[in-house]
Amino acid sequence: MARFVPPELVGQIFLIVNDAHETEVAQQVEANLSSFGPHASRVRIVCPDEIILRHPTLMGRINQFYVRRYYGSDRHTGWRKNPGWKLQQAFKLLSVHLGNSPYICILDAKNMFLSPVTFDDFFTEDGRAKSYLSEASELYQRWATQSFKVLGMVPPDQDRLPPTVTPYPVTRAFLQDAVSYLTRRLGPLEWFFVCLRWHATEFMLLFAYAEMKGGWDRYFQDGMQKPATAFRGTSEDDLNDLLNRALSGDVQTFALHRARFAGLSEAQRQKIIDLWCSAGIVDDTQEAKEITNRLAQI
């Protein structure tokens, strides 16, 4: 962000600490705020208690207390020792309680910008968020089906679906309405994602809500460049293709799941180092090597 996101595009940056060692991680992040460059003064570190609002029903409050105090386990590394991946889905939605900008862009810590960003990359002149439709895998279809069913809707019968990854631009008005509705219907969102066995996901729930309220294209417009994202289960061939595309300047954002660093080949590790250095994300090759080594040990 420091290099490719113009300061005039940024109102505030909220970093939500989703970690069992909340205080320590928050301190580490604060010590490195200078890495945000011109955006450093706009960064605010947020602990989840700030965005988890008191649920209006007694059962909802009991479920919130359960997640905070009893559900956690030492085998999990997320907030209050809960599953981090499940919690982060709730936190992305609940982030709407922060700030007041009419436009929001949800990011993961792993997202890297590789080229200059403009407002038009993420939002349209008529105020809709930009998005994209891509071929739906069996997993995406299952997430969509579960998300529609949990809202009492007929699952979509289509081969192309909206994204399930970040960057995820969205208008505050739409996200506020969606989160309000989902909280009333599903209960506390942190409890829904952590404790229930639905395979609904945060962005597929937003897709379902948009369809319920007039159709996806009322709130989103196809046309955003698809980010290059390598997941835990991305094949070696696909990972190599994503790295080559990123190095060629063919993509605007790149993300690599932290679990992949330990298994990178020397050639892949070198491509990551070359990518970081060419994009100005790190200052030199040695620093990049040290970072990849640390990530491989997580």
Partners of 255 in beta bridges: 229
User: Which residues, given as ranges, of the chain have pLDDT below 70?
Assistant: none
Q: Which two tokens stand for residue 149?
A: 């069913």
**145 with 196, same domain?**
yes
Q: Specify whether the CB–CB gap between 163 and 134 falls below 8 A.
A: yes
Q: What is the pLDDT of residue 284?
A: 85
**249 with 217, same domain?**
no
Q: Which domain holds residue 245?
A: 228-296
Asked if the structure places residue 1 within a domain, the reply is no
Q: Would you say the C-alpha torsion 224, 6, 230, 107 has a positive or negative sign?
A: negative
Residue 294 φ then ψ, to 5°: -65, -40
Asked if the structure places residue 259 within a domain, the reply is yes
pTM of the model: 0.94
Q: What is the pLDDT of residue 252?
A: 94
Q: What is the pLDDT of residue 158?
A: 86
Cα angle 292, 40, 13 (rounded to 5 degrees) comes to 90
**165 with 248, same domain?**
no
Asked if the structure places residue 253 within a domain, the reply is yes
Helix segments in the chain, DSSP class H: 22-31, 58-69, 84-94, 138-150, 172-186, 189-195, 202-212, 236-247, 266-278, 285-296
Asked if the structure places residue 204 within a domain, the reply is yes
Query: Which residues, 6+ apart, have CB-to-CB distance to 81 below 8 Å?
Result: 20, 72, 73, 74
d(CA 93, CA 176): 9
d(CA 163, CA 92): 14
**128 with 156, same domain?**
yes
**78 with 144, same domain?**
yes
Q: Taking the C-alpha atoms of 265, 266, 270 and 272 in order, what is their torsion angle to the nearest 10 degrees?
A: 20
Site of tokens 């599953």: 83
Q: What is the pLDDT of residue 196?
A: 86
**128 with 268, same domain?**
no
Asked if the structure places residue 95 within a domain, the reply is yes
**93 with 167, same domain?**
yes
Q: What is the pLDDT of residue 282?
A: 87
Last residue of a domain, one of 157, 192, 222: 222
Phi-psi region at 256: left, alpha or beta (left = phi > 0; alpha = psi -120 to 50) = beta
**109 with 213, same domain?**
yes
Q: What is the pLDDT of residue 136?
A: 86
**92 with 173, same domain?**
yes
Cα angle 108, 93, 220 (rounded to 5 degrees) comes to 85
Last residue of a domain, one of 222, 248, 265: 222
Q: How far apart are the first and last CA of the chain?
A: 24
Helix (H, G, I), strand (E, B) or coil at 18: coil
**214 with 249, same domain?**
no
Site of tokens 């993509």: 251
Asked if the structure places residue 2 within a domain, the reply is no
Query: What is the domain count for the chain?
Result: 2
Asked if the structure places residue 31 within a domain, the reply is yes
Last residue of a domain, one of 222, 256, 279: 222
- Which amino acid, residue 45? I
**163 with 275, same domain?**
no
Q: What is the pLDDT of residue 295?
A: 87
Over the stretch 23-46, which tens digit does the pLDDT of each residue have?
999 999 999 999 999 999 999 999
**207 with 272, same domain?**
no
